[in-house]
Amino acid sequence: MSGRAARAHGQGQARRASFGFREVDLDEKQGLVDEVFDRVAPRYDLMNDFMSGGLHRLWKDALVAWLSPPRRTRSYEVLDVAGGTGDIAFRIAGRSEGVRVIVGDINKEMLAVGQERAATRGLDGTVTFEEANAEELPFEGGRFDAVTIAFGIRNVPRIDAALGEAFRVLKPGGRFLCLEFSSVDIAWLDRLYELYSFNVIPALGQLVAGDRQSYQYLVESIARFPNQARFKMMIERAGFQKVEYRNLTGGIAAIHSGWKL
């Protein structure tokens, strides 16, 4: 199935969710996603570099540049939802003296890798790691100055619930930024990207991590994710205002930004 056909096929369907190209019960999806990240956690960072040729680093830099946290602060607090091994949090901490970042993720294996990386970088006072489900965040409303999520939201079964929770935990005036794979609108690049995704990435997963299946899920989940315009509408439906997006690398990824005003 082509990426576009899969996207069209995967829309709608209450109580069902797509796990890659498979339709599963909504309540079944999280367990399947957790199994994927249990398996990939030890090689997650290495595989990101292999699969994207290092591009994910530039995309993450772009998210943090757009967030533009204060250079010096005493009170700025960010929640990085589905923050995994801490890439976004470390970048924010690197740009902002006095910032506090909480990495919330549902997966203990990913958090453990992140915690170890934070300790190695001497950031364990600035960046903290907490088990948190994006659909039911364990934080009081109106707490955070910014909520970020990178390559996480397409894994969450109830995307609307996660967007609603991001809105709830933000302060009035707070900022939401989401980096996610998106839709390429340059025909030749789309074709090339699709060929690369479906042929090279699962093979790389097998070669580097001995795990084809998890990387097959990864590329299928990307193909199923709503395009830029649809995702923008979902963010607006959650209550955010001034929602806009920027394409990265021809739309292979996109950053969406919204404000709680």
Ligand X SMILES: C[S@@+](CC[C@H](N)C(=O)[O-])C[C@H]1O[C@@H](n2cnc3c(N)ncnc32)[C@H](O)[C@@H]1O
Residues that bind ligand X (CB under 6 A): 30, 33, 37, 82-84, 87-88, 105-107, 110, 133-135, 150-152, 155-156
Q: Indicate the angle between helix axes 55-67 and 44-52, nearest 10 degrees.
A: 100
**Which residue sits closest to ligand X, CB atoms considered?**
84
- C-alpha R_g of the chain: 17
Smallest separation, CB 187 to ligand X (Å): 27
| CB-CB neighbours of 197 under 10 Å | 21
Q: What is the DSSP letter of 75?
A: S
Sheet holding 170-181, edge to edge: 127-131, 100-105, 77-81, 144-150, 170-181, 253-259, 241-248
Nearer to ligand X, 168 or 241 (CB): 168
Cα–Cα distance, 80 to 14 (Å, whole number): 28
In terms of CB distance, is 33 or 185 closer to ligand X? Answer: 33
What Cα–Cα distance (Å) separates residue 216 from each residue in 2, 36, 55, 135, 150?
14, 10, 20, 25, 19
- Residue 23 CB, shortest distance to ligand X, in Å, is 18
Query: HSE of 198 in the Cβ direction (CA atoms, 13 Å)?
Result: 13
CB of 163 to ligand X, least distance (A): 12
Residue type, 43: R
Shortest CB 188 distance to ligand X, Å: 27
For ligand X, the closer of residues 6 and 82 by Cβ is: 82
Work out how close the CB of 21 gets to ligand X at its nearest, in angstroms, rounded to a whole number: 18
**Nearer to ligand X among residue 161 and residue 200 (C-beta):** 161
The CA distance from 240 to 186, in Å, is 29
> Which C-beta is closer to ligand X: that of 126 or that of 241?
126
Q: For residues 88 and 255, give the distance between their C-alpha atoms in angstroms, rounded to a whole number.
A: 13
Q: How far is the CB of 88 from ligand X (least distance, A)?
A: 6
Is the Cβ of residue 52 or residue 206 nearer to ligand X in the bound state? 52
